[in-house]
């Protein structure tokens, strides 16, 4: 946090800079300050970046928010956009890329350099593994997690792991939404 604060304080385009280490603290700070732009993590303690973005949306807060993360999951930028982020930057990038992403978002632009929106729009199933496709087919057949585990000869925890990845890749919150997305696309 100190390094991020110093990075933005050193740039003359930014005024007051505040930094907190958790999603709940970030939301509490919004009650005291009215920032022009925010930078949040994706895997923060307590509330995740996804949950923070959802809470901002529920509160009807119009705050350009950049997700800055070290996550290597290629679906995170898609999820961040779907949950209302204005920008995304990987921690693997040089610091000036983050600064320029924040500036772009503060100016009202979206900044998602890693987002292949055309691919996602064409086929949301393109990123699914063979196992995730098998689980989606089983879900559409109404099977429970235990039945899926037995059918695919994998553990219940492995089923849950694959379902979480499947939901993340499809940008859905639960099995009903996953099945609806699958059937709408002509699956089943």
pTM of the model: 0.60
Out of 56-65, 92-101, 117-126, which region has the weakest mean confidence (pLDDT)?
A: 117-126
Q: What are phi and psi for residue 96, nearest 5 degrees?
A: -65, -25
For residue 44, pLDDT beyond 80: yes
Question: Would you give the DSSP letter of residue 170?
Answer: H
For residue 112, pLDDT beyond 80: yes
- According to the model, what pLDDT value does residue 168 have? 86
- According to the model, what pLDDT value does residue 158 have? 94
Bigger pLDDT: 124 vs 117: 124
Please list the alpha-helical segments (H only) found in 59-171: 76-82, 95-106, 117-122, 130-140, 145-152, 156-170
Residue in 85, 76, 77, 25 with CA at minimum distance from that of residue 57: 85
Q: What is the mean pLDDT of residues 163-172?
A: 87
Q: What are phi and psi for residue 25, nearest 5 degrees?
A: -65, -40
SS3 content of the chain, % helix, strand, coil (to 5): 50, 5, 45
The C-alpha atoms of residue 63 and residue 84 are separated, in whole angstroms, by: 10
- Domains of the chain, first to last: 2-119 (3.40.50.2300), 123-184 (1.10.10.10)
The C-alpha atoms of residue 125 and residue 171 are separated, in whole angstroms, by: 11
User: pLDDT tier at 121 (50, 70, 90 boundaries)?
Assistant: low
- According to the model, what pLDDT value does residue 114 have? 66
- According to the model, what pLDDT value does residue 143 have? 92
Q: What is the mean pLDDT of residues 113-135?
A: 71
- According to the model, what pLDDT value does residue 47 have? 87
- According to the model, what pLDDT value does residue 188 have? 54
**Inter-residue contact 164 to 73 (CB < 8 Å):** no
The C-alpha atoms of residue 183 and residue 188 are separated, in whole angstroms, by: 6
User: pLDDT tier at 122 (50, 70, 90 boundaries)?
Assistant: low
Q: How does the average pLDDT of the chain come out, rounded?
A: 84
């Amino acid at each position: 946090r100190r390094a991020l604060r110093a990075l933005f304080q050193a740039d003359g385009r930014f005024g007051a800079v505040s930094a907190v280490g958790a999603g709940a603290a970030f939301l509490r700070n919004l009650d005291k300050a009215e920032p022009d732009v925010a930078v949040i993590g994706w895997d923060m303690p307590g509330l995740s970046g996804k949950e923070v973005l959802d809470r901002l949306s529920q509160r009807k807060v119009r705050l350009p928010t950049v997700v800055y993360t070290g996550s290597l999951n290629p679906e995170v930028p898609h999820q961040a956009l779907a949950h209302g982020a204005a920008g995304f930057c990987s921690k693997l990038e040089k610091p000036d890329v983050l600064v320029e992403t924040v500036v772009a978002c503060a100016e009202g632009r979206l900044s998602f350099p890693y987002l292949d929106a055309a691919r996602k729009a064409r086929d949301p199933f393109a990123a699914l593994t063979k196992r995730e496709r098998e689980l989606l087919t089983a879900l559409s057949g109404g099977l429970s997690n235990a039945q899926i585990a037995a059918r695919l000869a994998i553990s219940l925890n492995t089923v849950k792991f694959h379902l979480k990845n499947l939901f993340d890749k499809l940008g859905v919150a639960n099995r009903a939404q996953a099945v609806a997305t699958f059937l709408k696309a002509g699956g089943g």
